[in-house]
Amino acid sequence: MFLFSTHDAEELLLPSAAEPAIMEAAEDPKGTIRTDSVLIADDDPISRSIVESHFRKWGLNITSVSDGLSAWNELQKPDAPSLIVLDWMMPGFTGIDLCRKIRARRTKRYPYILLLTSRDAKQDLVQALDAGADDYLTKPFHASELQSRLKVGSRILQLQNDLLKKEGQLRHEAMHDRLTGLWNRGAILDFMNREIMRAARTRNSMGLLLLDIDHFKSINDTYGHQAGDEALQQVAERLAKTVRNYDWVGRYGGEEFVVVLCNSNADVVANCAERLRESIALAPLRVCGMDLPVTVSVGASISTSTDNLLQTADAALYRAKALGRNRVEIGW
């Protein structure tokens, strides 16, 4: 805690030349760190009020508490600020305690911590940085210096946002088919193996569907590859809309698709397979400005173990094509 004299308060309130908004609010899609929100923890009401006043002028969204325990509770919330300004001496937890506890969590979101305190000895600075503080500013301070240091924290948090966004994009690209947006071959087979193990463990059955667009080569040969790509995209969209929300659908390769049906007996598998076939056959696709009738053949298999599930579905698909296409065959 730090008690201000009148002179100290005046010094603290010295404004920068033009106090503009300190930062713009970052885009806030799910999982993005807000760079315009700040947590203030200070048990001195005068100090806290002065800091809050500056933050409001700079366009920050403020969460303000008067002790370390309240600050720690605020930081447990999913929407907790990632820009944190802490006093050193507080009841509950000190600023140093909070630094250590925050860093011990090792969460994916890295919070930026500024320790704002009257302690100005060199060993205090070293102790604070060793505990996990990113920056250290002594009271009384000049408003422009506090603003500049917050801008540094905001830039670091925005860089983190950019890295997290890029990481998410790379993860999505690694698991999704670029043309259709469905799960790619590697991802859908991983889901299949996971469900097979789950079915074996719980002694429930699960199903696998292997679908192939009938006469797809003739679409490419007759109308061109752009038409073929559009046909693949629209078939994928219909399949994704037709499966149950807890099933998995992916592109197996070329014009083939895989659907993993969780916790499904033979009747459920047969009904799902027929529903997916009908979702393609009942209405033509709108491809390159023309209506194009398209059908799929479906091979289905049901299993409670790892034995030849994919091979069984593949054999059933081959049989469906041999028997005239646009039909469902179930392998056992």
Q: Which residues are catalytic?
A: 255
Residue 244 CA: distances (Å) to CA of 255, 301, 327: 22, 17, 20
Between strands 206-213 and 256-261, the pairing is antiparallel
Give the chain's length: 332
C-beta of residue 182 within 8 angstroms of C-beta of residue 257: yes
Relative to beta strand 112-117, strand 135-138 is parallel
Asked whether the CA dihedral 218, 219, 225, 228 is positive or negative, the reply is negative
How far apart, in whole angstroms, are the C-alpha atoms of residue 196 and residue 260? 10
Cβ within 8 Å of residue 152, ≥6 positions away: 135
- The Cα 27–Cα 240 span in angstroms is 29
Nearest of 261, 108, 98 to residue 117 by alpha carbon: 98
The pair of structure tokens assigned to 230 is: 């559009």
Which tokens in the block code for residue 193?
Answer: 């193996």
What contacts 247, CB < 8 A, 6 or more positions away? 259, 260, 261, 262, 272
For the record, the structure tokens of 274 come out as 């027929």
